[in-house]
Structure 1
Amino acid sequence: MRPDNERKLAVILGLVLLAAAALCYTVLKPEVPEEPVRMLFKGSAGDVLFTHQIHTADYDLDCASCHHNLDDGDEEYNCSECHEPGASEDDDLMGRTDAMHAQCIGCHEEMGAGPVECATCHATPK
């Protein structure tokens, strides 16, 4: 085969492979998980990356373990629906920061697993 024909064949083959890859990318999308894979909680002490799968699958926790105010149905509530950002001066309802710390650190200490030091959860703020 001549060099010009080889070059044309290589370009055509490359374009076919690129088109096949683009088609596969659009057609074979992964399923969206029912629950979030990871959540990022913004905080003044640094952001906290939370992974649901570690807590539900690896530690066999159910939703009510963390979401303490589940309705009679399957509906879950976000912490921020009741707990205001930051610390709270209200004695009846903890602020979001205090509630998250009590929930997360309290469970980690009770189970003897997971981080309890600030820097192991909070990424250094930029």
Structure 2
Amino acid sequence: MHTVTITICGILLTLLAAFIQPVQAETLPDKITIESLKDLYGPVTFGHAQHIARERDCAVCHHHTNGAPASQEKCLRCHRGGHEVKSMGCKSCHEKQPFSAEQVNGKFKNNLQFHQDKPGLKASYHLSCIGCHKQKGAGPVACVDCHVLTSSGEAFYRAGKNAPDPNKAGKTGHH
């Protein structure tokens, strides 16, 4: 009797584990290249597989979705239809230009909408990545740890010979 109960429990646990598995590993990219500001910065390569292996929980970064259809009543007000999320990438929820006229006007049209205060794409990267890296004491936290200026970025931020001397930071009122 004991053996039968243990066997049945084992089978049920195996079936349950199969149904609650997150997105299959073969559909996830190992690396993600972020190029949202490619006119000013070179691409930033994000080690997606490395973070999956370390965290083992997609919700650590993908904080409002696991890819499944919305089920909570407050979510269904806008996320109707019951389909799975097509993309769990940051840019599928966070706008590249959050302060554009279109985005700002859209927020005022529906003032009962949730996520009114969600940060834009750039802010979400920085809040999530740097915040987690500081909290865990691991990973890059300084701008130059991830970002390399392009020649356009160099001209925009450094202003050539008119730029403050970075070796005199704090003495000129800049940097």
Question: What TM-score does the superposition give when structure 1 sets the normalisation length?
Answer: 0.62
Structure 1: where are the runs of 5+ without partners? Answer: 1-31
Identical columns (%): 35
Give the 5 Å matches for 1:1-126: 33-42=26-35, 43=37, 44-57=40-53, 59-71=54-66, 73=68, 75=85, 77-86=88-97, 88=99, 92-126=117-151
CA 1:67–1:78: 2 relative to 1, 3 Å? same
CA distance in 1, matches of 2:120, 2:47: 22
**Helix, strand or coil for the counterpart of 1:68?**
coil
CA distance in 1, matches of 2:51, 2:91: 20
Amino acid in structure 1 at the alignment position of 2:31: R
Question: What TM-score does the superposition give when structure 2 sets the normalisation length?
Answer: 0.46
> Any conservation in 2 of the 1:47–1:124 contact (CA below 8 Å)?
no
Q: 1:106 Cα deviation (Å)?
A: 0.3
Name the residue aligned to 1:14. none
Q: 1:81 Cα deviation (Å)?
A: 1.9
Q: 1:71 Cα deviation (Å)?
A: 4.7
CA 1:72–1:49: 2 relative to 1, 3 Å? closer
Structure 2: where are the runs of 5+ without partners? Answer: 1-24, 69-83, 105-115, 152-175
CA distance in 2, matches of 1:96, 1:122: 16
Paired positions, count = 94
> Any conservation in 2 of the 1:47–1:122 contact (CA below 8 Å)?
yes
Amino acid in structure 2 at the alignment position of 1:47: P
Query: Which one has the largest radius of gyration?
Result: 1
